[in-house]
Amino acid sequence: MAILGSTTKSPPAALQKILGLMELKDKHDVQFVSSAYELARRAHRGQKRYSGEPYLNHLVATAEYLAKIGMGPTIVAAGLLHDTLEDTSVTEEEITEQLSVDVCELVQGVTKLGHVRYHGMQRHTESLRKLFAATSQDVRVMLIKLADRLHNARTLEHVPNQEKRERIAHETLEIYAPIADRLGMGLMKRELEDAVFPYAYPEAYERVLAIFKDEGGDDLRRLEHIHNNVRRKIAEYGVKNFKTKNRVKGLYSLYRKLERKDWDPSKIYDIWALRIIVDSITDCYTVLGIVHGEWRPLYGRLKDYIASPKPNGYKSIHTNVHTGEGDSIEIQIRTREMHKEAQLGIASHFSYKAQVQKHSTGAVSWIRQFIPVRIWMEGQGRTSTGETRHTYTNEETPEWIKHISDPKQVGSEDPHVFLQDMKSDFFSHRVFVYTPRGDVIDLPVDSSPIDFAYAIHSDIGNHMGGAKVNGKMASLDTHLHNGDIVEIMTNQKSHPTQKWLDLAKTTLAKRHIRSYLQKDTA
């Protein structure tokens, strides 16, 4: 079969950039991505964006981002073609024939997502259900959709209608950025938020920007001073192969924190932070000891997400130390692998560059808890080069995606209730609490022991007789906080009451309580 866009002449600059970002070594993979580019170029010829630029620019930008975060030929090719089925005359058969079954299925998955709209609550919730249903079938579809949304967010200034700009901005903040967060994709989350913040809340954006300029300069000066001293001390103690980086807080993240702190910048300790990246977990704790030996830590500000990772897989040590100038600064300590996963989350486990190593070592522990997938080499069937690609199988999706996509789980027919439950249960601020055995339970902020009990098992919730929080008896209306250790005491004579509905926060708990009460009165 002839290869589209093969090596008879130099590839276009846009294609060269994608291939360069991917660092492809195999000529068949180069031809595979080149075929996808050429098909996209021909299919979208003559189409323009609001900016007046060729529509191909959007597809290239989507593919560039996927390549930049380490995605392989199949996902990048699908990124180039993600709009072809919806916006051109290209057929599924053409994509399958010229590329592969797997690319076609990914493009189909992105197409099925449709367009999330706020115009009409019923239509909006139906679109959201499709979004999560498609993701539950193949998480790679969401990676492509997020890259697509990011470029659209970055080019919002070209959308002529203000109402549409605001709608896209709010969709991004309320749906796509939280999804990226739940998938552990910290870099994507921040980029989405900061791209649309000025359009969603323009007045708040200007206010936060002014605060950042006023406060950030002093923080940066203190950070640079500590930065140099930290590097010197770490080297003195013999820690090798470490890197240090300054981290600036995203403006939208700063806005959300300022809201929680009554707009008092003096209560925020992490506008700027210092990241220390080392080779091993042992080095992480060695560096923590060095830092605390040289600078006095703030009481209650040490967070060890290595010993107790967040449910989305995030691992790092966070500590705040006094600078000696009457102020403090945050220091984050992690390994290189932890840093990659903190930035890319689940995407790091589809990394083309690390595929061979991952097949030989297996998935890391957190991914088996979060989304146990068997990732062979990308692709399925035969490519246009005639090479046989190995299969990808998505054996299990994240529990929260299954929950949202299953009408039996989030079963409200009222679209307003569905949307509110989704935001409350899955996209709100989270607290991470523990069972006595040390298992992490991920709950929305303001959750109660009732929510905790039902998150463990419905039988435990239905027979909860009391709860201990951090070893002390606690009332059922207690709001749980990060790091709380919760123990549920059961009694076969105990059962839910109507009052529990007011105390429960999660849809899961409320659904089980209502079910029990209905059976009890039947």
How deeply is 69 buried, as exposed, middle or buried, from its count of CB atoms within 10 A (0-12, 13-18, 19+)? buried
With H, G, I as helix, E, B as strand and everything else as coil, classify residue 377. coil
483 phi-psi bin (left φ>0, alpha ψ -120 to 50, beta other) = left
Instruction: Please give the share of the chain, as a percent, with pLDDT higher than 70.
Output: 77
What was the pLDDT predicted at 1?
A: 34
Query: Between 409 and 79, where is the model more confident?
Result: 79
pLDDT in tens, 263-285: 998 888 888 899 999 999 999 99
Q: What are phi and psi of 79, to 5 degrees?
A: -65, -40
* Residue 130 pLDDT class (50, 70, 90 cuts): low
Query: Between 398 and 383, where is the model more confident?
Result: 398
**Residue 481: CB atoms within 10 Å:** 14
The catalytic site residues sit at 86-87
Q: What are phi and psi of 315, to 5 degrees?
A: -130, 135
Report for 37-46, 301-310, 346-355: range of highest mean pLDDT: 37-46
Query: Across the chain, what does the average pLDDT equal?
Result: 82
* Residue 114 pLDDT class (50, 70, 90 cuts): low
Distance separating alpha carbons of residues 451 and 447, to the nearest angstrom: 6
The most distant pair of C-alpha atoms in the chain lies apart, rounded to whole Å, by 79
Q: Specify whether the CB–CB gap between 200 and 208 falls below 8 A.
A: no
Q: Specify whether the CB–CB gap between 56 and 41 falls below 8 A.
A: yes
Q: Specify whether the CB–CB gap between 162 and 178 falls below 8 A.
A: no
Considering only CA atoms, which of 135, 145, 144, 137 is closest in space to residue 115? 145
394 phi-psi bin (left φ>0, alpha ψ -120 to 50, beta other) = beta
| Residue in this structure with the two tokens 């951090």, named with its chain if needed | 470
Distance separating alpha carbons of residues 356 and 160, to the nearest angstrom: 46
Q: Specify whether the CB–CB gap between 464 and 488 falls below 8 A.
A: yes
pLDDT in tens, 337-383: 999 999 998 888 777 654 434 433 333 333 333 333 333 334 333 34
Mean pLDDT, to the nearest integer, of 409-427? 58
Distance separating alpha carbons of residues 507 and 376, to the nearest angstrom: 36
Mean pLDDT, to the nearest integer, of 434-459? 88
pLDDT in tens, 201-254: 999 999 999 999 887 666 677 778 788 889 999 999 989 899 999 988 999 999
Specify the range with the lowest mean pLDDT, choosing from 214-228, 292-306, 409-423: 409-423
Beta strands 272-278; 328-335: pairing state: parallel
The set of residues, in sequence order, having a beta carbon less than 8 Å from that of 108 and lying 6+ positions away, is 85, 92
Domains for the chain: give ranges and CATH numbers: 13-199 (1.10.3210.10), 203-341 (3.30.460.10), 428-521 (3.10.20.30)
